[in-house]
Amino acid sequence: MAQRILGLIPARGGSQGVPRKNVRLVGGAPLVCWTWIAAQAVPAIERLVVSTDDPEVASLARAAGIDVPFIRPPCLSLDTVSAFAVVEHALGWLEKAEGYRPDVVLWLQPTSPLRTAQDIQAAIALLERSSAFSVVSVCEAEHHPFWTFSMSADGVLRLLMDQGKSSTRRQELPRAYRVNGAIYLARRDVLLEQQTFDLEPSLGYVMPAERSIDVDSPWDLYLADLVLKDRAASSPADGTQCRK
């Protein structure tokens, strides 16, 4: 039997690094729109929900046909609130108010506007054909951890990992990956039990660097805008459903 997958898009109104980040124009459309455009094209997602505290985000979502069944309480919209707390609230609200209980939770942050429907579908397929508890998207690390340093107060550099001392050529290094923030997928019951997407066993879905921008600064926003404008030049229909 097919698993019931809830796609959950967290999109609060506030942001420290980039004010009003989720509604800033990127590639001609508000940042948050690119995530639901990709998610709407994935048939495996049974239900797609936006969790927000912000009236503008809620209005944008509803105009695009995205479900906003509740407004997130202010206490769950602070910078210090964990992702799990937002997931727990959404799952609790949906079950109590509507009796809706998915098997799998798909967490899609708006700060990854370059992920595609194909990325999401592939991550879902990876979970479905495995016994893993979760799938998390990753990309190859731009700077290998073996060659990263700490710096003392007087400016002295020290390798963070001793393995770097014996590795003089990039080709000799083992591949290293970092979480890119684009896709978090977890089995609901295990997620609620362990209260984290960092579950074991967990599988990594590898994405290329060019789709792994995580918008956390004005520079990230600028880069994402360039890429999306380039995409739009080749596919003019992309994003038209929520362009301003």
Q: What is the pLDDT of residues 144-173, one digit of tens each?
A: 777 788 888 888 888 777 655 555 666 667
Residues 118 and 168 grouped into a single domain:
no
Q: 222 and 198, same structural domain?
A: yes
Residue 194 identity (one-letter amino acid): Q
Among 158, 175, 192, give the residue marking a domain's end: 175
Give dist(CA 90, CA 111) in Å, integer: 19
Q: Return d(Cα 198, Cα 193) in angstroms, integer.
A: 12
Look at residue 37 and give its three-state secondary structure.
helix
The answer to whether 241 and 39 have CB atoms below 8 angstroms apart is no
ω before 174 within 30° of 0 (cis)? Answer: no
Other Cβ atoms less than 10 A from the Cβ of 118: the count is 12
Structure tokens at 198: 């960092």
Domain co-membership, 65 together with 125? yes
- Nearest Cα neighbor of 199 from 121, 134, 155, 243 is 134
Q: What is the pLDDT of residue 34?
A: 95
Provide the H-helix boundaries in 26-163: 31-40, 55-63, 83-98, 117-128
105 shares its domain with 12 = yes
Please indicate, yes or no, whether residues 47 and 153 belong to a single structural domain of this protein.
no
Domain count, the chain: 2
Q: Are residues 167 and 203 in the same domain?
A: no
Q: How many CB atoms lie within 10 A of CB 86?
A: 18
The residue from 128, 154, 175 where one domain ends is 175
Q: What is the tens place of the pLDDT at every residue in 48-71?
A: 999 999 999 999 999 988 999 999
Beta bridge partners of 30: 25
Question: Which candidate, 62, 65, 53, 68, places its Cα nearest to that of 22?
Answer: 53
Entry pTM: 0.87
Residues 86 and 162 in one domain: no
CATH of the domain at 198: 3.90.550.10
Given this model, what pLDDT does residue 184 score?
Answer: 97
Q: Which residues are 67's β-sheet partners?
A: 49
Averaged pLDDT, 108-120? 96
Mean pLDDT of 130-154: 87
Mean pLDDT score of the chain: 88
Residue at 227: amino acid letter:
V
**243 or 104, greater pLDDT:** 104
Give yes or no for a contact between 159 and 149, defined as CB atoms under 8 angstroms apart: yes
Residues 151 and 163 in one domain: yes
Contact 41, 94 (CB under 8 A): no
- Could you tell me the residue range of the domain that residue 155 belongs to? 142-175
Residues 81 and 170 in one domain: no
Q: Which residue has the tokens 């124009």?
A: 25
List Cα–Cα distances, 107 to 11, 39, 65, 176, in angstroms.
11, 11, 19, 23
Task: Write down how long the chain is.
Answer: 244
At residue 240, the 3 state secondary structure works out as: helix
Do 164 and 208 fall into the same domain? Answer: no
Instruction: Provide the pairing of β-strand 47-51 with 149-151.
Output: unpaired
Residues 149 and 38 in one domain: no
